[in-house]
């Protein structure tokens, strides 16, 4: 595998690009339908695409081969994702994408805090400065002024 395909930074950057496109496409998509229906359509599309990827790459595995603890945390993650998407689409229905998305990205700050508190991760002084700047930046971008 070439270095680009194994780089977490490259995948994270692509995630940010697609997340930005998600906000723009979703804002237009929720104009004429309820936000929960828009979330449902989005979810069906994701299921179909992931099913095709799993089938095409041979990554499907027997359901019994996955440990129960893994299922527990994947289900919890799925519930949190669903709740996030429902809230995000409702926020987009009600507000400007340029203001909703930065508040949504406060998740970066929360992940840092939860990572330290729950997972025992360590952040350096410059890391904490970055977390603070992300928080301040999200608030400033979301400010209507």
Q: In this structure, what token pair is assigned to residue 31? A: 């104009």
Handedness of CA 65, 68, 69, 73 (dihedral sign): positive
pLDDT of residue 4: 67
pLDDT of residue 5: 74
Label each residue of the chain as H, E or C. Answer: CCCCCCCHHHHHHHHHHHHHHHHHHHHHHCCCCCHHHHHHHHHHHHHHHHHHHHHHHCCCCCHHHCCHHHHHHHHHHHHHHHHHHHHHHHHHHHCCHHHHHHHHCCHHHHHHHHHHHHHCCCCCHHHHHHHHHHHHHHHHHHCCC
pTM higher than the cut 0.75: yes
Low-confidence ranges of the chain (pLDDT < 70): 1, 4
pLDDT of residue 64: 94
């Amino acid at each position: 595998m070439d270095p680009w395909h194994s780089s977490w930074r490259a995948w994270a950057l692509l995630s940010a690009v697609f997340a930005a496109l998600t906000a723009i496409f979703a804002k237009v998509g929720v104009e004429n339908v309820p936000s929960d229906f828009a979330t449902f359509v989005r979810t069906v599309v994701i299921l179909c695409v992931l099913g095709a990827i799993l089938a095409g790459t041979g990554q499907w595995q027997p359901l019994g081969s996955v440990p129960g603890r893994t299922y527990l945390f994947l289900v919890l993650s799925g519930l949190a994702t669903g709740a996030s998407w429902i809230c995000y689409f409702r926020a987009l229905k009600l507000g400007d994408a340029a203001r909703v998305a930065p508040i949504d990205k406060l998740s970066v700050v929360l992940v840092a805090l939860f990572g330290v508190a729950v997972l025992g991760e360590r952040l350096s002084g410059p890391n904490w400065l970055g977390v603070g700047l992300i928080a301040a930046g999200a608030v400033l971008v979301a400010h209507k002024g």
